[in-house]
Structure 1
Amino acid sequence: MLIDILGDFLQSTGFATITGGQIFMLLVSFVLLYLAIKKEFEPLLLVPIAFGMLLANLPLAGLMKEPIVEIVKDPNTGKLVSETKELGGLLYYLYQGVKLGIYPPLIFLGVGAMTDFGPLIANPKSILLGAAAQFGIFFTFIGAIALGFTGPESASIGIIGGADGPTALYLTSKLAPHLLGPIAVAAYSYMALVPIIQPPIMKALTTEEERKIVMEQLRPVSKKEKIIFPIMIAVVVTLILPSAGPLVGMLMLGNLMRESGVVERLSKTVQNELMNIVTVFLGLTVGATANAEIFIQWGTIKIIILGLIAFSIGTAAGVIFGKIMCKATGGKVNPLIGAAGVSAVPMAARVAQKVGQEANPRNFLLMHAMGPNVAGVIGSAVAAGLLLMFFGG
């Protein structure tokens, strides 16, 4: 009798039903947690993503289980109505913020409130570096088409090259929601691994002399300029490309809150409480989409590889254009800041600073790199708007 009871108990646990694929995904989550906690690779992103991945691959927990809904006839009216027979899992409901495109604009609101656009305003030429770094998006879009993905799928895969997780989620939720899982994990993983992926590319494409270049201090930017800039960008970009409005609009609203000086309480809430809450929900549910059944497929592996190619080419294109600007200005531009043209704010700018200081301890590139970095955020949102305009119909 005791043996039967123990046998029934073991059969009711996840140990009896766990698969090889789930074990593999659990190991992947452990590696990501190690990188986040031990190596401190963007822990604010990787900890919730990795733990969401862990939870999604624990059998029988049902945290991402969809609700069971039946269509029944209302006894009072005789009309057919939907009735929920069984509720879904906790993470399933939190995931609706990703699926419905709610979290990404809220993240942009927080990014805008936390970011100083002054370096971009002081050096408008850095817009070109931000634009150049978006080349990886369109190059990979063509590559994905060649590999047999549809137009909307290819657009969603290509946007990973912008190194902007919220933009990738927003576009994919509109164009290819069935690919949200692998694209979300790829986009956020590459964002978190910027300090690993970018430096080898930057060093391979630049000489030590170029990396040593010390740039002149940026001019001071007035408060009036900082207030006018987000209003102008929101109006102009949304009029030209309405599909980019939700992302660009929220980004500029957050920045206006920061710079106006009259809504400090709202600005602090957006920068801290709101941003932290949305980051937890977003990271956790993004990780939870990486279940073994969906993730361990050849199509998913192709997306991961294409995403890495997109991000690498975006970084390379930014550096190469930085070299062109260096030549055009007689050596006044350090090409490393071009790598910050991808949208990972402020990670990519910090990487440019770190690589520059390795070559020259007197080099302070952070503020110079923030210009292309901010331009990259706007550029990736514009690229997403273009792709949405072409394939969203």
Structure 2
Amino acid sequence: MIILETLLQTLKDLWFESGLYAFVTSVDGLKSLAMILISFVFMFLAIKKGFEPLLLLPIAFGMLLTNIPNAGMYHPELWTGMNAAGEHVGIDYLQVMREGGLLDILYMGVKLQVYPPLIFLGIGCMTDFGPLIANPKSFLLGAAAQGGIFFTFILAGLFFTGKEASSIAIIGGADGPTAIYVSSKLLSGGGAIDTGTIALAAYTYMALVPIIQPPIMRALTTKKERSIKMGQLRKVSKTEKIIFPIAVTLIIGSLIPSAAPLVGMLMLGNLFKESGVVSRLVDTAQNAMMNIITIFLGISVGATTKADKVINKEFLLVMLLGVAAFSLGTASGVLLSKLMNKLSGGKINPLIGSAGVSAVPMAARISQKEGAREDPTNFLLMHAMGPNVAGVIGSAVAAGVLLSVFG
């Protein structure tokens, strides 16, 4: 009898401590269940539709893990930086290491701004800056496409604080690591939005680049403009390719020091690639390191998507402002390229301006696809890669400007 009572009590305790009990007996449990269902949707988009699967899949699974009640893998209260009296005292990383779960430990790489610069290192190793060097005017298109960031900052400022508005606006760069880097430095985790909210919006719109950009590109250009064929780019020497990352790091690092971590690691990766003497480092940065950091970054960002941060009106507003930022950035790049086309006597296809956002190389491929749609013999990819890689640099510079003002 005693054994039976003990067994029943054990089963009763297990039930009350289980996630299933939380799901069916509380509003928070129902919200967590809703978030798990949302994570299933993101997994479907990543696996079945191929929407940014390298990051969307780990983010979705991190979302699943963090919303399992009583699993204890992520503790939002450790990341608010507030003490018991409600005073902001900063994050106690020793406490995180003592009391945190698996996802808390991984998330330290986000809050300490380690993962995004390492992602940039890998991107640098995989990027050819030759088209940008061959056509320096592409810098202007990369800069113009960042207009969406600053236009949206003004809009977001009507509803959010300066730090929150900066974090939302950077979504317009279509650069997930940069959005994570900025938001992790500016947002405490105790406000209406946090890094997970920003990252989820940023990667959602990065995945939707092929859907969002083409209608804007067609609306702002004529058939004649979309059919313009551009001349072949000049050949760039190895010396130029080696000098370029060093010069860019020195110039941007000196003018905007807060952009140096991102730009510096991007250029270091590119210097590795172009030097031709560290093939082992290039291989590691492109493959093993990039893959490891992508897994850690995705899971830890997904961990921050607790129900109370996503199922609210603030997140809906972030999503609306995010699409505005991305759309305005695309439009700004196209409009400047139209102006440059006029000034050049009709030698520049305005479609390449849309590639000024930082979604490499997806945005450049969209320019190529839209050009080929009008004329199958039109090849714009290499011309679009110039603004595209300029957009990577531009988004990092825009991030540095925002961090200089609000960091």
TM-score norm. by structure 2 comes to 0.88
Contact 1:114 1:271 (8 Å CA) reproduced: yes
Q: Which amino acid aligns with 2:111?
A: K
User: Alignment partner for residue 354 of structure 1, among 356, 369, 381?
Assistant: 369
Corresponding position of 2:138: 126
The reply on whether 1:175 has 2:182 as its aligned counterpart is no
Q: Which runs of 5+ in 1 are unaligned?
A: 72-81
Deviation at 1:8, TM superposition (A): 4.6
The reply on whether 1:31 has 2:41 as its aligned counterpart is yes
Corresponding position of 1:316: 331
Q: How many residues are aligned here?
A: 380
User: Alignment partner for residue 17 of structure 1, among 15, 18, 22?
Assistant: 22
CA distance in 1, matches of 2:376, 2:95: 65
Corresponding position of 2:307: 292
The reply on whether 1:153 has 2:168 as its aligned counterpart is no
The CA RMSD over aligned residues, in Å, is 2.1
Q: Give SS of 2:232's match.
A: coil
CA distance in 2, matches of 1:127, 1:57: 43
Contact 2:96 2:104 (8 Å CA) reproduced: no
1:1-393 to structure 2, matched below 5 A, reads 8-18=13-23, 19-65=29-75, 87-147=99-159, 149-178=160-189, 179-392=194-407
CA distance in 1, matches of 2:96, 2:59: 29
Q: Which amino acid aligns with 1:12?
A: E
Cα distance 1:83–1:12, how it changes in 2: closer, same or farther (>3 A)? closer
Contact 1:67 1:85 (8 Å CA) reproduced: no
Contact 1:45 1:192 (8 Å CA) reproduced: no
Q: Which amino acid aligns with 1:136?
A: G
Q: Which runs of 5+ in 2 are unaligned?
A: 24-28, 84-93
Corresponding position of 1:79: none
For residues 91-144 of structure 1, give each alpha carbon's deviation from its aligned partner in whole angstroms, at most 9, with x where no partner exists: 110011111111111111111111000000011111111011000111011111
Cα distance 1:124–1:83, how it changes in 2: closer, same or farther (>3 A)? closer
Cα distance 1:137–1:8, how it changes in 2: closer, same or farther (>3 A)? same
Deviation at 1:255, TM superposition (A): 0.3
Contact 1:67 1:88 (8 Å CA) reproduced: no
Corresponding position of 1:75: none
CA distance in 1, matches of 2:97, 2:144: 52
Deviation at 1:210, TM superposition (A): 2.0
For residues 178-217 of structure 1, give each alpha carbon's deviation from its aligned partner in whole angstroms, at most 9, with x where no partner exists: 2212112111221122122212222222222222222211
Deviation at 1:342, TM superposition (A): 0.6
CA distance in 2, matches of 1:85, 1:390: 31
Deviation at 1:378, TM superposition (A): 0.6
Q: Which amino acid aligns with 2:224?
A: E
CA distance in 1, matches of 2:348, 2:21: 60
TM-score norm. by structure 1 comes to 0.91
